[in-house]
Amino acid sequence: METISKQVSQNRRRTWFVLVAFLVVVSVIGFLIGCIFASRQEVFDLNVALYTMAGFLVAAVIYAFFTYMGVTNILMRGSNAVKIQESDDQQLFNIVTDLSMAANIPVPDIYMINEDAPNAFATGRDPKHAAVAVTKGLRLMMNREELEGVIAHEISHIKNYDIRVSSITVALTTFIAGAGTVLIIAGAGLMRNASWMSFGSRDSDDNKSGLAFVMGMIAFGVIIWIGGWIIRIIGVPIAQVLQFAVSRERESLADVSGVNLTRDPQGLINALEVLKNDSTPMKKADASSAALYINEPIKKNGKTPFILKMFDTHPPLDERIDRLKRLMGEDNYKE
């Protein structure tokens, strides 16, 4: 069994690899879009493709930065989470405060999600600007020991800066998805406008050059439209696979790190057993935020969304439970 420090180092290397892979995906998409524009020239100009790729990268970085700065508000609004005060839940605040002190990080903001399904996640850009959210279902179903196990898991995500990586990968994934959507809309708009232009010029012999221009616009619109769908069909799944790869590795690390905070593997084991035996669907969980939760959200009449089931954002709960049981007989869950 690897020690925590070795696992942290390994996951940092993997995270950098995934982030570089994200930038490569963004660059390739930008270059292909640039090739579309370059192909409109009389002679293919590679510089057009390269400049477009550079612009695409800059846009992705700017978008990721602003999303990263406001990630807590974005995710909490999307989850229908409400910030609570100490007077709202004294026990929950005590647990979060104690574990934050044990982890030597500032106490994060605490949010309550109006969901019956038991679940929780942490987010933010760093430990000084972090938040923990738990569902009402989790709060009602779990006793103090189990709740401590879950909160320790989430505090570990904050301490290990998993929240920073998650915020960046979510931002880049949504950027790629948005780029595909913009191209689809732009391509459809070009085709529609060109079609309207063709009606006014089809009967005039003097407008043959105009008709050629219109047909060129339609062709260009088709190319952009197809390019958008290629990004949506191929680029987005690739980005989600990279995002889920980060999540899967860091969930395992957070389990072990959480036990290191509580010195009580049984609490988290019992909590994961509760999650394993529950099939309550979540109303406000989609593929872009699912990787943040302690357990894959279930929706659509109790079924896991196809994209999550296909790529597995989290290790199987049985695997996580067995790993923690092995830790109970070993000392290397301590640093």
Place of tokens 């957070």: 254
Predicted local distance difference test score (pLDDT) of residue 267 = 92
For 28-74, write each residue's pLDDT tens digit: 888 888 887 777 667 778 888 888 889 888 988 888 888 888 888 88
Query: CA-CA distance, 48 to 235, in Å (whole number)?
Result: 21
How does DSSP classify residue 267? H
For 148-184, write each residue's pLDDT tens digit: 999 999 999 998 888 887 887 777 788 888 888 888 8
Mean pLDDT in the chain? Answer: 80
Cβ atoms of 163 and 289 closer than 8 Å: no
Predicted local distance difference test score (pLDDT) of residue 279 = 83
162-199 and 144-159 are packed helices; what angle lies between their axes, rounded to 10 degrees? 70
Answer whether residue 271 shows pLDDT above 80: yes
* Bigger pLDDT: 215 vs 142: 142
SS3 state of residue 121: strand
Cβ atoms of 101 and 90 closer than 8 Å: no
Query: CA-CA distance, 23 to 169, in Å (whole number)?
Result: 10
Domain that holds residue 221: 1-335
Predicted local distance difference test score (pLDDT) of residue 253 = 81
Backbone angles phi, psi at 296, to 5 degrees: -55, 120
Nearest to 256 by CA among 300, 321, 206: 321
SS3 state of residue 214: helix
* Bigger pLDDT: 143 vs 217: 143
Nearest to 282 by CA among 294, 302, 299: 299
Strand partners, 269: none
Query: CA-CA distance, 115 to 280, in Å (whole number)?
Result: 9
Handedness of CA 13, 19, 25, 30 (dihedral sign): negative
Query: CA-CA distance, 297 to 282, in Å (whole number)?
Result: 6
Tell whether residue 157 is among the known ligand binding residues.
Answer: yes
Query: CA-CA distance, 28 to 73, in Å (whole number)?
Result: 31
Q: Given pLDDT bands bounded at 50, 70 and 90, which one contains residue 209?
A: low
Query: CA-CA distance, 139 to 137, in Å (whole number)?
Result: 5
Place of tokens 């089809």: 202
Taking residues 94-110, report their average pLDDT: 95
Answer whether residue 1 shows pLDDT above 50: no
Answer whether residue 248 shows pLDDT above 90: no
* Bigger pLDDT: 8 vs 294: 294
Q: Given pLDDT bands bounded at 50, 70 and 90, which one contains residue 14?
A: low
Backbone angles phi, psi at 112, to 5 degrees: -115, 130
Predicted local distance difference test score (pLDDT) of residue 283 = 79
Query: CA-CA distance, 138 to 194, in Å (whole number)?
Result: 55
Which of 154, 319, 330, 335 is catalytic? The answer is: 154
Question: What's the total number of domains in the chain?
Answer: 1
Predicted local distance difference test score (pLDDT) of residue 75 = 87
Is 0.85 topped by the overall pTM? no
Predicted local distance difference test score (pLDDT) of residue 102 = 93
SS3 state of residue 124: strand
Tell whether residue 153 is among the known ligand binding residues.
Answer: yes
Cβ atoms of 131 and 154 closer than 8 Å: no
Tell whether residue 129 is among the known ligand binding residues.
Answer: no
Q: Check if 2 is active-site.
A: no
